[in-house]
Structure 1
C-alpha cells in the first residue's frame, strides 16, 4: 500500500459541475483512492448543512467548511473561527442603510435579515440546495457565526472592504459576497487538519477552481486546478487537469500518481 495521503476537494466547479451534479467518474475515483487507504476530504466555502448529502454519498467525514472557519476531522470539530460580533452588527446596519441584505450563517442554519429579496433568491437558487434562508433578523444574537453573505452588485463591496478591516470579502456570485474573519481561508483550515494528522507536505493534495481556492492551491504542495478554472486560479496551482465534465478529478488524480 502507498503511504497515506490526504486529498482536499473543493465542491462547486470541482466535484460538482455547473448543474450541481457529481460526475460518475469523480465518485468512482474518490472511492478508488479511499480503497487505497488515502483520506478524501472536502474544502469548501459552503456551510456544513449545504453538502451533507454529498458527504454521505462519498463517505467523507473530514472537511473544511466556510472557507476555513469550521473544520471537522473524522467527524469531530477541531477548529472554529467565528466572526467578530460587534463588527458584524455594524456591517449589518451599514448594509441595511444601503439596501444590501445579509444572511447570517452558523454550522446548522442560515437566516436573512430581510423577509425576501431578489438578490438572495437568485444567488441561493444557483447553489441548487434544499435550504433557503428564512427571515430572522436577530439570528446572530447568542450564536457563533462563521460566515455572512452580503448581497450587492459587483464592485459595491469595495465600501465594505474599506469600512470593515476585521473581515475579508470574497465574491462567489455576481450578486453575493462571502464575509469571513480577516485572514481566514481554506488554506488555514487545511493547516489545522494537517497539524492533527502530522502529514508531510509531500502527502497533501488539493483540487479547486474558484477565487476562494487560490490561497489553498498556493499553499498545498500538490495542487491541481480544474480545466474550467479562471487563469489566475490555474496560475496558483502546480498542475492543471481537465474540466469537471471531462473527468477532471479522475485525470487529475492520475496526473499526480494517486490512480
Structure 2
C-alpha cells in the first residue's frame, strides 16, 4: 500500500488538497482552502492523504477547535473521509480511519465523532462504514442527519444548543459557508448568478470564526442551506442542484 502524508505549513504550498485536484475552475477555492487550513494546522487540524494524485484523504480536528456546531470534551471531529474512483476497494478508507483512531488513543482522547446520515449522502462519511468500526448514533437532526461517536471512556458529544433555533433572516435563500471546502467559491458564484437572474432574495453568511461555527442554527460541515426559513441541506449547491431544490418547494 502506498504511503500517506500529512499536510503541514512546510509542504502545503506544493501539495494538492485532493478534492479539486484537476479542475482549474476551482483554483480560487483551492487557494482559499489553503489559507483557511494554514491557520487551522496550528490548532491541531490534521489533513492526511495518500501520497498520490488522487482523492484519498481524511480531515479532522480537536472538537473544541472544529468549526461545527458540535460540542464535547477531548474528542476529535472528522470533517471528511473520502476515497474515490479507482482507489476504492483497496483498504485506504480503513487505513485512514484507523490512523485517526490510533492518534486519538495515543493522545488520550475521549473519542472521535463525525456527522453522517441515515441514508448515504454526498459530502458525508458513510454511516455503515462507521458503524462497522464501532461508531454509534448519539444524536439526530431533521430526521436525516446523525451525529456518530466512537467513545473510549463513555462520554459523548452533542449538537450545540443553538442547533434548531429559528432563522433570524427574511431572505428566501440563506447559505452559511466557510472556505474550508475548495468547491464553495464556485458554488457561491453559481448560486449568486442564478438568484440574481431569477429574482430570488439571497443572503450569504461567511462563517469566519470558531465562535460563529459553534453557534449556528443548524448542523454544518462547512455549508448549510435554508429556504423560506427552513433548513434544507448541507449539500453544496451548484446551479442545477439549486434549481431542483426550488422546483421541489414550489
Class of the TM-score when normalised by the shorter of the 2 chains: under 0.3
Higher helix share: 1
User: Structure 1 length normalisation: TM-score?
Assistant: 0.25
Q: Which has the higher strand share?
A: 2
Query: TM-score with structure 2 length normalisation?
Result: 0.25
